[in-house]
Structure 1
Amino acid sequence: MTLHTQNPNPNAFVRVMRKVYNPIGFKKGYNFVLWFIFAGALLGFGLARLQYLSIDGVYKQSASPGEWFYLRRPFYKVGLTLHLATCIPAAILGIFQFVPVIRYKALIFHRINGYVLLVLIVLLNIGALMIARWAFGGTMATQAYVGALAILTLGSASLSYYNIKRLQIDQHRAWMIRTWFYLGTIITLRLIMILSAMIISQFGNYYIAMSCEQIAQMGGDPSIYPNCVANPEGQTAVVANLPGATSVEEVAAALHTSFGMAAWLALALHAVGVEIYLALTPVEGERLRRVSYERQLERGLSHPGSSGLTADRLGDAEKWMPPSKEDSEEKQTGAVMGFP
């Protein structure tokens, strides 16, 4: 595979943009744009939710209607605290792992930050699993999503860690990108959830079972529901109604009804999107594999170029061959794709 150089005669816009992204290590404009959008979204998400670390203060007052009724209980409160105390720092620290200049000039920070993030990913998933039973209604769809996300993120992070220990940098990059794309569903699903909650509310025939005590705790009036009048400790059906809600429990019903669907749709979009991105950036993967080959050769690892988990060792892919001397001289160059 030929590794291309940057366009030596860019237009004025590209020249200006290169002055922005080249100092922080980006060689390709599309990578900078994607980093700015997705890493920026994670950073904004983390900073906006720093206030939620006040569990009994801000979070209690700002939580989705009805959630605090269950999450205030000791076991779930521990899980909630663990999840927020690890998820928020992970969202903030994650942005630095994808800044090229840090990997080039501050590799020790990249490594330490990587280990910290691995620990945070493990802990945030433990916290999420602890509260999955009641998070946003705790439907089976929601619980299944939390479990699937834990498997995907922990599995991808583990594969990324194994590959970097084997100096298989190309696979480390691929699995770490997958990890963060999966984690990013927590942002996309909220956008889908709100939109879908507004849509289903227009139909007026979506209901969710809700505890009468929960309705009372969130500030609703259980006495308007015959089931609650007959049995204050029982449950009743609440209609999903977000834009024209007449009570707080209707808002909760709309959000709880749509959360599971939104979560799975967001996960599907991110899972497909990351594979498209990886498929469209084979030059970067090849460049890093050549770097992996040289480092593995220096370390004396077996199967240099394929010492990690690669398709030519585990599957039926054609055996990867080391680059020629001429190609090796190009290993540090970037590819020209799109505008920059």
Structure 2
Amino acid sequence: MEPTYPPQTKSLSEGRSEMSTGEAHRYGFAKSAVDSESGMPSVYEHASHPALNRSAGGRQRQEANAARTFYHSLSWTLGFKEKYSLLLFIVFGGALFGFCLARAFMMNPKIMREQTTPGDFRWFNLKMDKIPYFWHIYTTIIGGLIVSLQFLPVIRRQYILVHRLNGYLSLLLLIPGNIAGAIVARRSFGGEINQQVAYYLLGIMITFALLMGFANVKKETRSHRRWMLRGVVYFAVPILPRPMILISRAILTKIGSYWSVWRCDEVLYVLQSTESLSQLFPQCVANSTDPTNSPLSVAVHASDHEGDLGKSSGDRIVHGMCLWISMLISVVGVEIYIRKTETANYNRQGFVLEPKESELA
């Protein structure tokens, strides 16, 4: 008499026959244990294994959760309350810090001459413009490096003395530095009237915002935060035109019909050769007894393919436009951010900056 099995149980012989015939299992289709054609052991189709798919998706979710957890932990450690504040601090604060750090090499006078826009140092090498230009470079670079720390909530709340001292030092550096920058705007990028007005207005905006922030530091912390945010964002306006200039200059080169006005002595300062000056601009030599101090002006073609002179000519044409666009973006952007984060603004309570009680409810 043959033994009987429960309905859900199969005999060993039945299992073997099922494997040999290649019937479907709950883990996918299984080939026979020995391939009838090649005589080699078969390989299971693991790609269709649902357990493996679930484990792969689980690993991806774990990695995403780990990254999210790290971000939130870092944000909480630094004192940020909105989930996007740390990201904005990294992007914009990092851009300001990185730009100032990259420009720190200009504190070496030799490198300063090399990295200044070609032709401008014809004026910045003179005593009248040299002092404010050097002052502008040194103070704004140092001030830009340390002012980023002012926007870390953990410093504002736990290290009040550091926040105050660093803030006063930042103001002492940034306000005179921007005034000096407005002075040399007369010669910067050729002294085009378009960019002159932009720099003068920007200098007024920065100085006014920082002074308003200083005036409200002990009166109303909410206004202090708003004005200091505006001041630092305005201070960072010249960063955005840098990549914009490269793009705009490439477009000018493609068009090929843009020219800027240069003094002959500026052209000679870039070319560093009277012979080259006479070949490219013979009128500068023919109509002047001293090309090194000639007020005669010539038109210089703007092109990326014509050396430093052509590139600098393109910079002079597009710089004012890029500066105005950057100012517009920065002004609108900082006002949107201030309104979006108004609930996270702080009031003074003793020696600690804390949210309003009504905001915590």
Check the 8 A contact 1:53/1:84 in 2, yes or no: yes
Q: Does 1:249 align with 2:284?
A: no
CA contact (8 A) 1:227 1:235 kept: no
- The 1-side partners of 2:359 and 2:123 are apart by 58
Instruction: Point out where structure 1 has 5 or more consecutive residues left out of the alignment.
Output: 1-9, 297-322, 334-340
In the other structure, the counterpart of 2:251 is 199
SS in 2 for 1:208: strand
Q: Deviations over 1:276-322 (max 9, x none)?
A: 1122223223xx2xx34x669xxxxxxxxxxxxxxxxxxxxxxxxxx
- Of 247, 256, 260, the residue aligned with 2:320 is 260
Write out per-residue CA displacement over residues 187-215 of structure 1, whole angstroms, 9 at most, x where no aligned residue.
Answer: 10112122112112222222111122221
Alignment of 1:77-156 (within 5 A): 77-156=130-209
Greater RCO (CA < 8 Å, at least 6 residues apart)? 1
Structure 2, unpaired ranges of 5+: 1-63, 289-293
Q: Which has the larger radius of gyration?
A: 2
Cα gap change, 1:125 to 1:330, in 2 (>3 Å):
closer
Q: Percent identity?
A: 28
What letter is aligned with 1:143? Q
- C-alpha distance in structure 2 between counterparts of 1:295 and 1:171, whole Å: 17
CA distance in 1: counterparts of 2:359 and 2:341, whole angstroms: 17
Once the two structures are superposed, residues 19-45 of structure 1 have per-residue CA deviations (whole angstroms, 9 ceiling, x without a partner) of: 222222223221100011111111111
2:264 pairs, out of 212, 219, 225, with: 212
Matches within 5 A, 1:317-328: 328=357
- Name 1:16's counterpart in structure 2: 70
Q: TM-score of the superposition, structure 2-length normalised?
A: 0.74
Q: Which residue of 2 aligns with 1:157?
A: 210
Q: TM-score, normalised by structure 1?
A: 0.79
Residue identity in the other structure for 1:33: L
The aligned counterpart of 2:231 is 179
Residue 228 in structure 1 maps to residue 288 in structure 2: no
* Deviation digits for residues 199-251 of structure 1 (CA, Å, limit 9, x no counterpart): 12222222111122221211262221243243243221001112x22x42111
- CA RMSD, 1 decimal: 2.2
Paired letter, 1:207: W
* Structure 1 partner of 2:98: 44
Contact between 2:343 and 2:359, CA under 8 Å: does it hold in 1? no
Shift of 1:12: 5.3
In the alignment, is the contact (CA less than 8 A) between 1:136 and 1:255 conserved in 2?
yes
Match for 2:149: what amino acid? F
Contact 1:39 1:94 in 2 (8 A): no
How has the CA–CA distance of structure 1 residues 279 and 328 changed in structure 2, closer, same or farther, with 3 Å as cutoff? closer
Equivalent-residue separation in structure 2 for 1:160 and 1:275 (angstroms): 15
Aligned residues: 285
Q: Distance in 1 between matches of 2:202 and 2:302?
A: 26
Distance 1:330 1:281 in 2: 12
Q: CA deviation at 1:185?
A: 0.8
- Partner Cα distance (1:130, 1:328) in 2: 46
